[in-house]
Amino acid sequence: MFLRAAIQRGYSTASTAAASTQRLAGKVAVITGAASGIGKATATEFVRHGAKVILADIQDTLGRSLAAALGGPSTAHYTRCDVTDEAQVSAAVDLAVSTHGKLDVMVNNAGIVGSLDLPPLSALSMADFDAVMAVNTRGVMAGVKHAARVMVPRKSGSIICIASIAGVMGKLTPHPYSVSKSAVIGLVRAAAGETAKDGVRVNAVSPNYILTPLVKRILEEWYPRMSDEEHRGIVEKDINEMAEGGVVLGVEDIARAVVYLGSDEAKYVNGHNLVVDGGFTVGKAPNMPPMA
């Protein structure tokens, strides 16, 4: 009894301390696709936890507005960055180093869904495939490459890539998006195996559907006759394994997962794909014939 009580008191004290601590204090981060959706939530959470952030995006108005809202240049600096251009990704990393002297965390979040047509494989547009891969996979590879370039010499750093449950299960999105996110998960494992010896961790986060601008576009095109509320119901009820318990996934939940992977609390987590889906990808009932 005494031991159990002591342990419980210890956990309670640790939890209280963790809740009141800025988990990223003193750290410097670059976040691509930072102007909206998961990127915006991540930037906000990073600053709340004491980090200085470089917001990299192509949405200039949104990016500059967010930077100002997060405290301006000393805390949050916006830079235009098209991740399909490696030189711009490299420049965003160099901006973090020149402004703050280092880079501790790289969040490769920028992504697109591409065409929402659902043709059979025989009619797949390779041009659309190439466009999606250029952002979602090649752009992430550029982020990993240039983050490692400055982190490896310092023997420290965390690189986090936003993948998707579409990279874990098929038939959830158009093929190009699914393939691109599967490639991100493979990229993470390959890179983590090389950089571990240099103290640089590389991990992925795979979210379930969330009502981000990207997902809203998907629902509006696939279900044009439905209202916004009905679209919300698809995400928050129909494909939410935890809906009956009233638990709904939000962008802030993904941001908190990224904070964890970027913090020293995750110092030995490397090459991992953190799936945040409420159990959606755990397993599905097989397509059995109807019972007599």
Domains of the chain in sequence order: 23-209+249-276 (3.40.50.720), 211-248 (no CATH)
Q: What are phi and psi of 222, to 5 degrees?
A: -80, -30
Cα separation, 176 vs 47, in Å, equals: 33
- Residue 1: what pLDDT? 46
Q: Which one from 27, 40, 164, 206 is the annotated catalytic residue?
A: 164
> What is the average pLDDT value for the chain, to the nearest integer?
91
Instruction: Indicate which residue of 52, 177, 178, 209 is catalytic.
Output: 177
Q: Catalytic site residue 181?
A: yes
Tell me if residue 2 falls in helix, strand or coil. Answer: helix
Residue 2 pLDDT more than 60?
no
How far apart, in whole angstroms, are the C-alpha atoms of residue 168 and residue 170?
7
Q: What is the pLDDT of residues 259-289, one digit of tens each?
A: 999 999 999 999 999 999 999 998 776 666 6
| Predicted local distance difference test score (pLDDT) of residue 287 | 66
* pLDDT score of 12: 47
Mean pLDDT of 229-245: 90
**pLDDT for the residue 214:** 86
**What does the pLDDT look like over 80-117, one tens digit per residue?**
999 999 999 999 999 999 999 999 999 999 999 999 99
Q: Which residue has the higher pLDDT, 16 or 83?
A: 83
Q: Are strands 52-57 and 76-80 parallel, antiparallel or unpaired?
A: parallel
Q: Copy the structure tokens of residue 187.
A: 């990229």
Smallest CA-to-CA distance from 188 within 225, 160, 212, 146 is with: 160
Edge-to-edge strand order for the sheet containing 200-207? 76-80, 52-57, 28-32, 105-108, 157-162, 200-207, 273-276
**Category of 246 on φ-ψ map: left (φ > 0), alpha (ψ -120 to 50) or beta:** left
Is the confidence at residue 180, as pLDDT, over 80? yes
Check residue 7 and give its pLDDT: 40
Q: How many alpha carbons lie under 13 Å from residue 258 in its C-beta half-sphere?
A: 33
Q: Is the pLDDT assigned to residue 13 strictly greater than 50?
A: no
Q: Which of 27, 181, 182, 209 is an active site residue? A: 181
Length of the chain: 292
What would the pLDDT profile of 129-172 be if each residue is shown by its tens digit?
Answer: 999 999 999 999 999 999 999 999 999 999 999 999 999 998 88
What is the C-alpha radius of gyration for the chain, rounded to an integer number of angstroms? Answer: 20
Say whether 177 is catalytic: yes
Please name every residue paired with 159 in a beta bridge, in sequence order, or none if there are none: 106, 202
Q: What is the mean pLDDT of residues 191-205?
A: 98
- The least confident of 33-47, 183-197, 222-236 is 222-236
* Percent of the chain scoring above 90 in pLDDT: 80
Neighbours of 37 (CB within 10 A): 21
Q: Among this protein's residues, is 102 annotated catalytic? A: no
- The whole-number pLDDT of residue 286 equals 66
User: What pLDDT is recorded for position 20?
Assistant: 53
